A and B are shown apart, each in its own frame.
Chain A
Amino acid sequence: MKYVLMFTHDPAQLAGVSEEETQAVYGKVYAWFQENGAVFADTGAELQSIETATTVKHGGVVVDGPFNEAKEVVGGFSVIDVPDMDAAIALVKTWPQLTLPGVAVEIRPMVEDYSQFE
């Protein structure tokens, strides 16, 4: 099952984080991509509708719904291929930047079976 990860952050909250800490987290981010390389698939995805969104927030809290407050911005996308939603959440919880305030990752399932639209 393919899921798009939307990496988001609140610039105002990140502004308070020291340069040192930012660099340390970036180091972990590189390692994270190396470690989890196997689950990353290609991009160019069509997303399921907004109601299917699930968001994991700073501190690992899982909530329903999209991450759509205007003060936060999407910083990047990735597509992963994992067995189910629990696997996607478990992976996202290890995203190193979630240790920083204002960071969140939205998980959205991709449309894979087009027969549902027939």
Chain B
Amino acid sequence: MTTSDGLLAATIRDESGRLVTALYRRFGDFDVAEEAVQGAVVEALTQWRRDGTPRRPGAWLMTAAQRNALDLLRARGRQARATERLAGPPGDAPPFAGGALHDADDRLPLLFACCHPALAPDARLALTLRAVIGLTTPQIARAFLVNEQTLAQRIVRAKRKIVAARIELKVPDDLDERLADVLAVVYLAYNEAFVSSTGSTHDRDLGADAAWLSELVARSLPERAEAWGLAALLRIQHGRAAARFTATGDLVLLRDQDRSLWDGTAIKRAGEHLERAASLRSPGRYQLQAAIAMCHAEAPSWEGTDWLQIVTLYGVLIREDPSPVVRLNGAIALAQLGPRQAAVALADLDTLEPQLAGYHLWHAARAELLRLNGRDDGAEAADRRALELTSNDAERRLIQTRLRRHPLTDGS
């Protein structure tokens, strides 16, 4: 990514949600507002690369988006109505339903609308990425390896529902319940980007976008512990991203990562978020995951990791979120404590078979624990099964490498 592309991405991320909100307030049509901003983003992507960044990028985007909105309204034959609205006093625009939270970031109502439970879960993610942080449909499709046309349809349907069913852009009264939906979408945005990223060049750093969004939510709702927990988690994960891939795009496991590549500033900031979350005394799954990630981030090496602390945190996390994937990760941590615990961990893992037999990482984890327990023959079969099930190139290469080098190197 070039510097100018980086600046472009950051400007779009900062401005697009604001612009959608502003245009919606002005024209009273969510679909027009979102479409107009999306058009401006696409124009910026080509023009700024060709002509350089304008002196006032935010104003440039606003002008382009406004012109697009008027064009769209004209094309849809609704210009008369919009013009009437524009002619009236500013108070005629739809009320900006921020309510008591008027100090909060003005992108928050938009985010809550995009993550509304009345929208299909996969549409919530796509719409959030487009309307709130200004990703284009092709960018989303590339990042999540989905068909562009299907994705475009999904977004159109979601927008139609927002308009037809009157889902307002506002911070809801049942904040706690709805915040969980928002945090789930932001987490998914990071996680999907993390999983599908193959180290190849993207024109947007989606991990950075998701971490930024998590901090925006936390700053806007500073009394919500889980919002800070998620912000901490994503900041740590992203802070370690540079060590996850080799120059050739191969995955590097945590134990083999060059820890000097980790971003100390990001990890420090994550620590502050985590302290802030802890001070609110309302523990939850994001905070616990962040605490586990922080143990890794502060460890000098894989061997020098405080595994006991991590296993303890997993115990609490599993009570909070007993999903099979969390239990899988808990078992891997437990196995690091010693041979006796490695045997228990393998037994734990085997109880997850009914739920995870189709999940490549279950087989990969099982291969690892079988090796730790001295059962190399079973390990190779498990690795082969993982290889069959993975759809990710980087993961496939990692497993192939492990199959090739074993039993030459692994004396652990």
Contacts and interface: CB of A to CB of B under 8 A. Distances in A.
A86 B172 CA distance: 8
A108 B312 CA distance: 47
B166 A109 contact: yes
B161 interface: yes
A62 B161 CA distance: 15
Nearest to A109: B165
B168 interface: yes
Interface stretch (A12-20, A30-38, A47-55, A97-105): A47-55
Given A54-B118, A62-B117, A90-B173, A84 B168 contact: yes
Given A63-B117, A64-B119, A85 B157 contact: no
A82 B388 CA distance: 53
A94 B166 CA distance: 20
A56 to B, nearest CB: 9
B167 interface: yes
A90 B165 contact: no
Contacts of A107: 165
A84 B166 CA distance: 5
Interface residues of B, number: 20
A86 B168 contact: yes
A86 B165 contact: no
Contacts of B75: none
Contacts of B174: 90
Contacts of A118: 77
Nearest to B165: A109
Nearest to B121: A64
Contacts of A109: 164-166
A63 to B, nearest CB: 7
Contacts of A89: 118
B238 interface: no
A52 B120 contact: no
Interface of B: 77, 116-121, 123, 157, 160-161, 164-168, 170, 172-174
